[in-house]
Amino acid sequence: MAGSKGKVCLAYSGGLDTSTILAWLLEQGYSVVLGCRREEGSVAIPSPTLAIDEDETQRSRINFGIAVSPLTKYMRHTALQIGAEKASRVRRGALLEGRPVRTYYSPRSRRQFPRLTVQQNAIYEDQYLLGTSLARPIIARGQMKAAAATGCQFVSHGCTGKGNDQIRFEFAFYTINPEIKVIAPWRDPTFYNRFQGRNDLLDYAAEKGIPVTSTKAKPYSMDDNFAHCSYEAGMLEDPNVTPPEDMWTRTVSPLKAPDTPLDITIHFSKGLPVKVVTPSKTVTDSVELFGLLNDLGKEHGVGRVDIVENRFIGLKSRGCYDSPGMTILRLAHISLEGLVLDGRVRALRDNLSKQWSELLYNGYYFSPEREFLQPSLDHAQLRVNGEVRLRLYKGHAYCLGRTSPEKLYSEEDASMDSLTTFDPSETSGFVTINAIRLKKYGLQKAEAGEKF
């Protein structure tokens, strides 16, 4: 009987899977709170980088529309069909107690993540910009807020049992509330043995009165958010199959991109993008800025990646991603860091960035080890100030130049023609002393009769 087993907060998208899960949870005797994205308003989430970010208003606007969808009319309708007594854009306090299904909107503010990944030059296995990885902990945090506000003992999601996302969600759940119980239907034999294919789901939908828009299933699965869109599974499981051109939703084909390149300038403050200038406009609002780069990248076909990656659970998986804005920002950020970061700081930082990226990928955003790495990573960005000029053209971005108020780079010093700040004879000692070890090694090899 609905509610007898306790209350579940379900991350709800309104689609066939989560609608089925909703009906199934009710059938199992749970009452359900739907976690959806709130469309309006904004909730402040404490930023892990506040300490170095004086301009919080600046950073507080990037909003990632992630897989958990906003509550639409259709979703409300669906929920009512399935058994919800009421489903509306209520505020937290308006949630009615005692009903088996209620809706809840997770906070919309996902501001710091994409920028954090840009600041860290975060990348996984040389190519993946972590667009999905960064969304998961934010959704999970929102869902846990909803669960807490509505007194849920359980949280649930529609992730499969083979992927990374289940882990990313659940690590965040358990960290945020170690007492929470997780219901993962796609790992529960009573669920997955009952629903073995799309037809089982459709039959159940018909039985339960779940309205299904008969869209033709894509031959792959997608996950879209403000940062990127990912594609995997289905036909993509053969790593030698080239993705169909119409798969990519966030980038036009480079072959169809404009014949004229576009030159833009991106300004950074403490490693964060704060202004984008194009021939036709200038934006400084962080949401607008990221949206603009997504639009420009899309138009010029920038940001497609096709990789076979290593999932946390040890399986290999082929994923395709288009991340136009992130790709452009990464190039810009790296180009500026070349100018302003000390060389050895960069080398050490790159090690930490790699570890940070692996943690994010594996679902450890909320973890003591990520928290441990953050202060030094943040410190490295304090002087990443300046601007980078870029060209976008048919699938690729190019750095055209960069400038900064920071003074680590000196034309005078770097110049091969100038000796005013540099006495080249000093380098002899540098070479000789560093070669002390090498000479020993050379003698050792010679004595052993080994050749170079």
- List the catalytic residues: 17, 136, 165, 221
Segment 358 to 397, residues that bind a second copy, using CB under 8 A: 358, 364, 366-369, 371-380, 383, 389, 393-396
Q: Is 452 in the site for a second copy (CB under 8 A)?
A: yes
Whole-angstrom CA distances from 438 to 431, 434, 435, 442 are 10, 7, 5, 6
428-432, Cβ contacts within 8 angstroms, sequence gap of 24 or more: none
Which range, of 58-66, 73-81, 167-175, 277-285, touches a second copy by CB under 8 A?
167-175
Smallest separation, CB 159 to a second copy (Å): 10
Report the distance separating Cα 315 and Cα 42, nearest Å: 38
Three-class DSSP category at 39? coil
Alpha helices in 233-367 (DSSP H): 286-299, 324-340, 343-361
Smallest separation, CB 257 to a second copy (Å): 9
Beta carbon nearer to a second copy, 2 or 233: 233
Report the distance separating Cα 57 and Cα 268, nearest Å: 16
Q: Is 255 in the site for a second copy (CB under 8 A)?
A: yes
Q: Is 50 in the site for a second copy (CB under 8 A)?
A: no
Smallest separation, CB 45 to a second copy (Å): 9
Identify whether the C-beta of residue 156 lies closer than 8 Å to the C-beta of residue 34: no
Q: Is 429 in the site for a second copy (CB under 8 A)?
A: yes
Binder of a second copy out of 317, 323, 327, 385 (CB under 8 A): 317
Strand 154-156 with 272-277, pairing: unpaired
Identify whether the C-beta of residue 146 lies closer than 8 Å to the C-beta of residue 106: yes
Q: Is 449 in the site for a second copy (CB under 8 A)?
A: no
Smallest separation, CB 18 to a second copy (Å): 16
Degrees, nearest 5: CA angle 72-75-76: 90
Identify whether the C-beta of residue 316 lies closer than 8 Å to the C-beta of residue 308: yes
Smallest separation, CB 61 to a second copy (Å): 21
Q: Is 318 in the site for a second copy (CB under 8 A)?
A: yes
Smallest separation, CB 217 to a second copy (Å): 11
Beta carbon nearer to a second copy, 102 or 318: 318
Segment 259 to 298, residues that bind a second copy, using CB under 8 A: 261
82: left (phi over 0), alpha (psi -120 to 50) or beta: alpha
Beta strands in 98-228 (DSSP E): 101-106, 154-156, 181-183, 221-224
Which range, of 20-28, 105-113, 234-242, 273-281, touches a second copy by CB under 8 A?
234-242
Beta carbon nearer to a second copy, 103 or 323: 323
Which range, of 149-157, 201-209, 275-283, 316-324, touches a second copy by CB under 8 A?
316-324
Identify whether the C-beta of residue 129 lies closer than 8 Å to the C-beta of residue 114: no
Segment 110 to 149, residues that bind a second copy, using CB under 8 A: 121, 125-127, 141
Mask: binding to a second copy, 55-94, rule CB under 8 A, as x and -?
A: ----------------------------------------
Smallest separation, CB 88 to a second copy (Å): 28
Segment 395 to 424, residues that bind a second copy, using CB under 8 A: 395-396, 398-403, 406-411, 413-417, 419, 422-424
Q: Is 213 in the site for a second copy (CB under 8 A)?
A: no
Report the distance separating Cα 291 and Cα 394, nearest Å: 19
Degrees, nearest 5: CA angle 91-95-101: 125
Three-class DSSP category at 367? coil
Q: Is 223 in the site for a second copy (CB under 8 A)?
A: no
